[in-house]
Amino acid sequence: MTQPSRVAIVTGAARGIGEATARKLAADGLAVAVVDLDEGACANTVTEIHDAGGTALAVGADVSDPGQVTAAVERVAAELGPPTVLVNNAGVLRDNLLFKMTDDDWETVMAVHLRGAFLFSRAVQKHMVDAGWGRIVSLSSTSALGNRGQANYAAAKAGIQGFTKTLAIELGRFGITANSVAPGFIVTDMTAATAARMGVDFADFEKAATGQIPVGRAGRPEDVANTVSFLVSEGAGFVSGQVIYVAGGPRA
């Protein structure tokens, strides 16, 4: 069955997993708001979607800023239509061992991952409730299970899981599902930055990671995008409050 036209918001969609997800949802037939810090940085994703025959809108917004989130959702509703699909994907790393982690390292990661997911979910839920249908997918991580140097990020990504389960309980009666996708090692600028911070060549970094992955390869942004595509589909309406690890195996 062809999916009816829906409007999706994907945050952090200028590159990486967000970009792949925006492109996949557009290919699925959804109109996609490509949200990132810098509207200009969204141009590439939007052009790729347009060139493939899809519908996309570039929107600049800091997901951690309440005013910018409200304005972004209002703009999407006005220009594309009421958003009933939300992918909370925007993310940052501020890795450090606990004794070296600064207040700002902690606050920044909490603000982007947790406050960002909260603000966007709260802003779009009205449109979903009005429609009697909605899909929220938030990016967690295998780091939620604990990861050296990531006390802030692990706490935020575990928090996303609790947040997701609560949205599923509160919003289910309105036809809205909430799920979380928890990637393992995915080749993006984020993992490249981690290798650089550790002073490790990225090819060596990827090879070491791959050795720990049961399917024997690193993940690609499209692996995550395909999982999100399922979770926001019409047919996934009885899947809610779940965390799906997209890690090439049962754990990191």
Which positions are catalytic? 153
Q: Which region, judged by CB under 6 A, interacts with ligand NAP, from 45-53, 128-136, 178-186, 197-205?
A: 178-186
The least distance separating ligand NAP from the CB of residue 169, rounded to whole angstroms, comes to: 23
Q: Which region, judged by CB under 6 A, interacts with ligand NAP, from 22-30, 120-128, 179-187, 229-237?
A: 179-187
Tell me the residue number closest to ligand NAP, measured at CB: 16
User: Using CA atoms, how far apart are residues 231 and 242, in angstroms rounded to an integer?
Assistant: 10
Q: CA dist 177 to 74, 137, 237, Å?
A: 22, 8, 7
The least distance separating ligand NAP from the CB of residue 186, rounded to whole angstroms, comes to: 4
The least distance separating ligand NAP from the CB of residue 43, rounded to whole angstroms, comes to: 12
The least distance separating ligand NAP from the CB of residue 170, rounded to whole angstroms, comes to: 22
- Choose, by CB under 6 A, the member of 54, 134, 149, 183 that binds ligand NAP: 183
The least distance separating ligand NAP from the CB of residue 35, rounded to whole angstroms, comes to: 6
- Choose, by CB under 6 A, the member of 117, 139, 158, 228 that binds ligand NAP: 139
User: Using CA atoms, how far apart are residues 74 and 79, in angstroms rounded to an integer?
Assistant: 9
The 10 Å Cβ neighbour count of residue 111 is 17
Q: Which of residues 65-124 bind ligand NAP (CB under 6 A)?
A: 89-92, 112
Nearer to ligand NAP, 133 or 247 (CB): 247
Per the document, the length of the chain is 252
Interaction of residue 227 with ligand NAP, rule CB under 6 A: no
Q: Which of residues 24-63 bind ligand NAP (CB under 6 A)?
A: 36-38, 41, 62-63
- Choose, by CB under 6 A, the member of 6, 9, 18, 167 that binds ligand NAP: 18
Burial of 18 (0-12, 13-18, 19+ CB in 10 A): buried
How far does CA 207 lie from the centroid of its chain?
A: 25
- Choose, by CB under 6 A, the member of 27, 101, 129, 190 that binds ligand NAP: 190
The number of CA neighbours under 13 Å toward the Cβ of 64 is 12
Where do contacts with ligand NAP occur on this chain (CB under 6 A)?
Answer: 11-12, 14-18, 36-38, 41, 62-64, 89-92, 112, 139, 141, 183, 185-186, 188-191
